[in-house]
Amino acid sequence: MSNDTTTQNVTTPNATTSAATTPDVSRRYQPQLRVNATYMRGGTSKGVFFLLKDLPPAAQVPGPARDALLLRVIGSPDPYGKQIDGMGGATSSTSKTVIISQSQQPDHDIDYLFGQVAIDKAFVDWSGNCGNLSAAVGAFAISQGLLSPQTHPTQVPMDGWATVRIWQANIKKTIIARVPMRDGLVQECGDFELDGVTFPAAEVQLDFIEPADDDAGGSMFPTGNLVDMLEVPGIGCFNATLINAGIPTIFIAATELGYTGTELQDDINNDAAALARFETIRAYGALKMGLIQHIDEAKQRQHTPKIAFVAAPKDYVASSGAMVLAQDVQLLVRALSMGKLHHAMMGTCAVAIGTAAAIPGTVVSQAAGGDALDVVRFGHPSGTLRVGAAAALVDGQWQVTKASMSRSARVLMEGVVRVPADTLPAA
């Protein structure tokens, strides 16, 4: 495959596209296609990872064929909402795909493209990153030989910490991953514990460099305000922080929504009226942030923006049954992803939380006591998470140079994934 094909893959990923291929009935009984793939956990998410060069030729470029392949791999669209006939796990955290290639960007090692696969609809959202799966990208690239102690001896030691420079192609940002190595191999097992993940593993350190979204005109706050009055017809008005850092996010105080901030998944996800209200608020937030031009466009942009509600610290029992004490956190955050309350916290949303906590006056900072926090530990449904951010006011504009956190990652299965031959157009 030529470099031109690779470049096309990583420079035009931002549009949300629908799978529109028509199945070829004459090919229905042919043997399934076999595609090399690796199933990995990264942070509190799971996804199917591919090398770009291993995809069928029609799927090596953006478009309907690629989307059709990824939808069929994951098992979408599924009106039952279970993804039984695919690799997906029927949640936003487990309906994910990643495509990796050698980087076409200067001073980067690999290009990383993320596709959030809808569960009950036939579309793949390319509008944002997955911060959790970012933790697995460096390890995958090393394990697949894109860089190694032999080819990159100064970056990838036989023992110690490998440094992988990742170009996040969806949002055109840099992520630096520090991956532990032992005897020339990625170290996956260890004693690092991450709330929302049952078993310990090796720590992976991530730095998200200048995570503010360039599409916001160079400002983290697309409206120019730390707090806006967000008017939502038929629902109400809310004081909201609209921020583009890590991922576009809408933050609202829990009390304004009638919540305490201690809610777990079932408290929100079993309430259809609450989910519909959150989606409406999210849509009007997207409009105010300039991410969409008409309210109806929000239906085709489910991955971004995120919506989250925050509260001052309180004691609560996490989903694992463990007690989270108010004295151990600086605020509480609950965030929705793909229309449902997340079981823990999205990595990109954690970047937004850390950034907003570092800037006095935001809704997040107010919930955390009002001080600028270089590092914040917050409570989420599964426990707690620590994230740091370096923010500064430069020429009247807030800027963030870096946000940092630790996650873990592990290969769950590797080999080939199979899809019916009529998934892709005939060669």
Residues with catalytic roles: 130, 346
Q: What's the DSSP call for residue 285?
A: H
Token pair 């160079």 is found at 218
Q: How many other β-carbons are positioned within 10 Å of the β-carbon of residue 76?
A: 24
Q: How many other β-carbons are positioned within 10 Å of the β-carbon of residue 147?
A: 21
In whole angstroms, what is the distance from residue 57 CA to residue 61 CA? 8
Q: What share of the chain is helix, strand, coil (3-state, %, to 5)?
A: 25, 35, 40
Cβ pair 241, 333 in contact under 8 A:
no
Q: Of 245, 303, 260, 244, which is closest to residue 126 (Cα–Cα)? A: 303
Cα 202 to Cα 42, 135, 205: the distances in Å are 11, 11, 10
Cβ pair 406, 421 in contact under 8 A:
no
In whole angstroms, what is the distance from residue 309 CA to residue 220 CA? 19
What number of H helices and E strands is found in the chain? 8, 21
Give the max Cα distance, the chain: 65
Q: What's the DSSP call for residue 32?
A: P
Q: Tokens in use for 285?
A: 């937030």
Look at the alpha carbons of 126, 128, 131, 134 in this order and tell me if their dihedral is positive or negative: positive
- Quote the Cα angle for 79-50-179, to 5°: 120
H-assigned helices in 34-129: 64-74
Cβ pair 246, 131 in contact under 8 A:
yes
Q: Is 280 exposed, middle or buried (0-12, 13-18, 19+ CB in 10 A)?
A: middle
